[in-house]
Amino acid sequence: MSQQIDAAKLLQRIQNGETLNLLDVREVIEYRTFNMGGQNIPVGKLKQNINNVIYNKTNEIIVICSAGIRSETAHAILIESGFENVLNLKGGLKALQKLNINNTST
């Protein structure tokens, strides 16, 4: 199982103004519809585009997708390729959006 970061922790880091290295592994159309920034390489193309990842192999990289399943796969690919500090967003963007909805309704 991959190392993970939960949505609440990620949201806290974003609100604290941290600069995060995000790798969004959803399809391009999904990324264009809604994204949090970062680099977009769909998980199905990650292996052949591993040299295009803009982050250093020692940087912390947070891998995100819709529900945390594709990013789990991407996490494994990155670790296999020598990236040392990769976190998977547990529950994906859906978990983050739920938190944002809950935070704004209070």
The pTM of the full predicted model, rounded to 2 decimals, is: 0.92
* Domains defined for the chain, CATH in brackets: 4-104 (3.40.250.10)
CA distance readout (Å), 65 to 6, 50, 105, 106 = 13, 17, 24, 27
> What pLDDT, on a 0 to 100 scale, did the predictor assign at position 105?
46
Tens digits of residue pLDDT in 18-28: 999 999 999 99
- Report the candidate in 64, 39, 63 with the shortest Cα–Cα distance to residue 53: 39
- Low-confidence stretches of the chain (pLDDT < 50) are 105-106
